[in-house]
Amino acid sequence: MMSAPASEPLRRFLQVARGAGLRVSAAEGIDAARAVDLIGYADRTILKDTLGLLLAKTPDEKAAYEEVFDLYFKRDEFAGDKPDDRDGSADPDQNEASSPSNGEGGDGMGGQVGQSLGSLLSSDDRATLATAMEQAAREAGIENIRFFTQKNLYARRILDRMGLRALERDVEAMRQTGTPEGLGRAQFLEGKVDQLRDAVRDFVERNLILYAKGETEKFREELLKSARLSNLERRDLDRMRLLVRQMAKKLAARYAKTRRRRLRGQLDTRRTLRRNMGWGGIPFITVWKQKRIEKPRVMVLCDVSGSVAAMAQFLLMFVYSINEALSDIRSFAFAGSLIEVSDILEKEPVEEAITKIMSLIGFGSSNYGNSFADFEDGWMKHVTNKTTVIILGDARGNRTDPRTDVIGRLSQRSKRIIWLNPEYRSAWGTGDSDMYRYAPFCNLVTVCSTLRHLERAISDILEDAA
């Protein structure tokens, strides 16, 4: 039997590892291949420790690595007693050819190892059976399995490639003889085939978990990012929190570095002369003046009344997850009145902080006018022309005075006001909605009902930080 190249098992393992959430770069994959060339696959403990040091960086990745390694390298489909430990179940003719069609397994794994499937089952050569099954799985394209409904399909493909059809014909021929020896051998092989079917089903199910996990997770994440936050089920909240952190981390990494904008046409004479000292001051290399782009200062006003409470929790979590990219964040929560919640979010874990905020002021009836007045009295003086104000809310104040005059003064003092409304645009201005009364004072008013909307809005704020 021709074995796969030494690098093939590692390539497939890196594939499932990435699907499980490990960030394995090309350079790390090369390092892993070099390590495997040195240590081989024989000692699984050494292999596991070595690859773990190279591939798993964070505690979450280490946990995922442990799980995926054990699952991928698990080899117990044919575990059990040794042949000589069996009592009465051994085939008395196990050393003989199991069928007249000994070479007929050539369309499957049996023929490639020089033995038919019947011979392998009779001899109870478990190592060869496991190898044959894995090669048959590769030929059947087990890496492409993605859905639970494909389990039986791939199991049958693997069994066919191992030579099951030829063995079934042989067993039927044994039955047709009508002799006690033929019937006994047929019964023996049928029992072995049943064990083989169970082993192949377990093998396929384990590969389904390995190969489909990454695709399933990606599909699930895309659905959650695009789903209205108000429609999420409680079981989705933990996954959403993880997505929020991942998205925020990407944005933070993208914008945390000091950024500069080249001022085209404005030569930096001093730096140009310094750069060209090696050429006697002749300006072969020109240096242009640059303007440093400051990180935006942000004030977030979140409506945490009952109608938008779920969205507000995610906004607070998202903004504080990217605080390393922002130089100054102050957060406020309001329903009937407004309070600052920055200290709570800074001093406590985010989930606990949000729970505390909601217990203090959340889930009540909203009064936008009173809340904006509270903000003006306590914090308007801290707003400058470098401050971006983000307001999250449906602008439904239960027919109270909207105090658009406060928003007007806030607009004059701040750099810009961005209003994120979780309602559909068609609902703006209906009933007690004051959205169209606030809109003229805002630089941007947009629908924000999904995590994807939220990511885009925050990204735009960072893009336009200058």
- Write the pLDDT tens digit of every residue in 165-188: 988 888 888 888 888 888 888 888
- Write the pLDDT tens digit of every residue in 254-269: 665 545 555 456 777 7
Query: Is 405 a residue whose pLDDT tops 80?
Result: yes
Note the pLDDT of residue 323.
62
- Write the pLDDT tens digit of every residue in 290-302: 665 556 688 989 8
Name the burial class of residue 242, with classes exposed (0-12), middle (13-18) and buried (19+) by CB atoms within 10 angstroms of its CB: middle
> Distances from the Cα of 354 to the Cαs of 6, 64, 121, 318, 343, in angstroms?
51, 28, 61, 12, 12
Query: What are phi and psi for residue 81, nearest 5 degrees?
Result: -70, 155
Longest dimension (CA), the chain: 104
Query: Is 320 a residue whose pLDDT tops 70?
Result: no
Closest CA to 120 of 141, 94, 145, 81: 94
Query: Is 360 a residue whose pLDDT tops 70?
Result: yes
Domain 296-463 class in CATH? alpha beta
Domain boundaries, the chain: 7-73, 92-219, 259-293, 296-463
Query: Is 428 a residue whose pLDDT tops 90?
Result: yes
Amino acid letter for position 445: V
Mean pLDDT of all residues in 80-86 = 41
Query: Is 94 a residue whose pLDDT tops 50?
Result: no
Counts for the chain of helices (H) and strands (E), in that order: 19, 8
Alpha helix ranges (H) inside 73-179: 109-112, 117-123, 126-139, 151-161, 164-177
Q: How far apart are CA 371 and CA 333, in angstroms?
A: 9
Query: Is 5 a residue whose pLDDT tops 70?
Result: no
What is the average pLDDT score of the chain?
A: 78
